[in-house]
Structure 1
């Protein structure tokens, strides 16, 4: 595909909010049709990292937790954040071990994803982890997780029928479903 030109013009920007995880900036812009307006962007201070662990029996692990912003319980693949300066595979290995207790000898990058490209610049990476060894979890202070091992086929079915709604989990499981012909 041919390279496309940026038709947005930034007139100014200002910080709106900042905490250890995100910052929000407001931009005064001229949009592609020439109108003036504002645009808000949420920038994350971590990369989103997610893992689909797959064992020799073609089972995977899901993590369930209450998601505060949604005010509902969510089933997801193991995931978390890694500092922008950290190697993504190193951070993914840590997240898998923290949330499931698993370590893996084989790692394959599955996909790169923008989680909501209309309001955030967050970039996510998903890995497949194989040749797994069980161990102890190391939950963060904010995590009250339920861990569930289930057939990969069932996890893909949960993505298909709406029991899984997290965007990164959906993208990863649907791609795996196509790859494995589930």
Structure 2
């Protein structure tokens, strides 16, 4: 948490409270059959299991968001990708936090690697869903994670799916 003493645009003084967070990555991994890697796990801050694309924070040792995306995809799914495309980034809840999510499209997938889940991810289950179903999940509000929604819609609008 951070509290800033600030000068507002109208010239008055005040405080602004915010949460400082590390950047994150979200990966839209699509295989040759047009199936998308989608995870389902308990999300503590929302108090329920949710659908989302593989995602995680950018650690200081990663160096770049792309490196973090490669690591997170391998850790959560055991998948590696040959083709990586940056889809852009999104500010998440920017009236509350500086949190920024970098989205990537991963293709040319190779599976079979060992998953390395963190203790808080022990319930993470990987599903392979058709692209069309994932787009419908976004439109229905069933994939509420901001980075996931951004990645799917951006790739769809750009004709990458």
TM-score if structure 2 supplies the norm length? 0.92
Corresponding residue to 2:79 among 102, 119, 130: 102
Shift of 1:179: 2.4
TM-score if structure 1 supplies the norm length? 0.81
Q: Which residue of 2 aligns with 1:167?
A: 146
Corresponding residue to 2:3 among 23, 26, 37: 26
Q: Which residue of 2 aligns with 1:57?
A: 33
Q: Which residue of 1 aligns with 2:117?
A: 139
Structure number with higher relative contact order (C-alpha < 8 Å, ≥ 6 residues apart): 2
- Does 2:100 align with 1:123? yes
Shift of 1:181: 8.0
Q: Which residue of 2 aligns with 1:90?
A: 67
Shift of 1:27: 1.2
The whole-number CA distance in structure 1 between the counterparts of 2:30 and 2:78 is 14
**Equivalent residue of 2:120, what SS?**
coil
- CA RMSD in angstroms, aligned pairs only: 1.5
The whole-number CA distance in structure 2 between the counterparts of 1:119 and 1:96 is 27
Structure 1: runs of 5+ lacking an equivalent: 1-23
Corresponding residue to 1:48 among 11, 20, 24: 24
Shift of 1:84: 4.3
Shift of 1:34: 2.0
- Does 2:109 align with 1:111? no
Q: Which has more radius of gyration?
A: 1
Structure 2: runs of 5+ lacking an equivalent: none
More strand by share: 1
What CA deviation, in whole Å up to 9, does each residue of 1:32-78 have, x standing for no partner? 1122221012111x320110001111111111111111111110010
Q: Is the 8 A contact 2:25 2:147 kept in 1?
A: no
The whole-number CA distance in structure 1 between the counterparts of 2:158 and 2:6 is 42
Distance 1:181 1:122, change over 3 A: closer
